[in-house]
Amino acid sequence: MAAKLKVGDEVVVISGRDKGQHGRILSIDRKRERVVVEGVMMMKHHNKAGRSQQGGPTGGIESKEAAIHISNVMYYEPAAAKAKLGNTTKKIPGTRVGIREEVVDRDGKEKTVRVRVSKETGKDL
């Protein structure tokens, strides 16, 4: 599956227990089709005491993000979200991403460049 999302993109969760939350993509696992989103799908991780070799945490409970499936997130574009939602809160404030190919002249050679485009507003991402 060709995912059109990249690390650093702002996304909104469209299904699951964290539906409606949005955050930045921290990492993408393309083989397993999973993404880690900042502040979404928080899990508790219990660390044993006395396991500090590099000066890390020596014990306790820490919260960290878990991976969610890439089909459960959608690109978040604030301008499109404001126009799409209006006064209602029932719709998801995400936008679909498309790809447009442009021919660019570089050093006397024509090259085809793929550009990500918002399908809602038509603007480059």
Any domain includes 15: yes
Q: Give the pLDDT of residue 121.
A: 78
In the numeric block, the tokens 């696992």 are attached to: 29
Any domain includes 40: yes
Here the CATH number for the domain that contains residue 69 is 2.30.30.30
77 residue type, one letter: E
Any domain includes 77: yes
From the first residue on, what is the mean pLDDT of each consecutive set of 10 residues in the chain (125 residues)?
82 90 93 94 86 68 92 84 59 80 86 86 81
**28 close to 37: Cβ distance less than 8 angstroms:** no
Any domain includes 62: yes
22 residue type, one letter: H
Q: Give the pLDDT of residue 124.
A: 85
Query: How would you classify the pairing of strands 94-95 and 22-29?
Result: unpaired
Any domain includes 39: yes
pTM metric for this prediction:
0.75
**Which structural domain range is residue 45 located in?**
10-91
Any domain includes 108: no
Query: What DSSP designation does 124 have?
Result: B
Any domain includes 59: yes
Any domain includes 117: no
Reading the block at residue 11, the tokens are 């996304």
Number of domains in the chain: 1
DSSP secondary structure letters along 20-35: T-EEEEEEEETTTTEE
